[in-house]
Amino acid sequence: MSENEGRQQRDIGMARAELGARPSQKVAAKHAIAKVCRSTAPHNSWTTDEVHAVLESMNVKLDNARLLGPLMKQAQKAGLIEPVVCDGCQRQETRLSRRKKRHAGPQYLWRTTPTYYYEYWKE
């Protein structure tokens, strides 16, 4: 499988995860992402572990945790978040998950964009 085919398969999987999710879960997850963005300054990195913690505090259990993948990409496109990229290899950095269910699997690192963080606090 070529790199391009791999990306296509990833995109198909992400679209399926989002299309198969209940609308109420999408809304809750988007609110949780926004809450993490508003509460984490741009100089601090975070993962979807923090989003899951917010969802837990909202008493929301996602039917499919893979829903967060496409929603994080949407948040990136909307300018809320940006990936934390390694200066040396130009790849998105990861951190091992702290959630028991993830068994210390790697999680992408994100940071809130300064524009979103400081614009939010102006309101």
Nearest residue to 95 via CA among 44, 53, 55: 44
Report residue 15's pLDDT band, with 50, 70 and 90 as the boundaries.
Answer: confident
- Domains of the chain in start order, with CATH, are 3-122 (1.10.10)
What pLDDT digit, counting tens, does each position of 78-94 carry? 999 999 999 999 999 99
Instruction: Characterize the bridge pairing of strands 81-83 and 110-112.
Output: antiparallel
What pLDDT digit, counting tens, does each position of 23-64 carry? 899 999 999 999 999 999 999 999 999 999 999 999 999 999
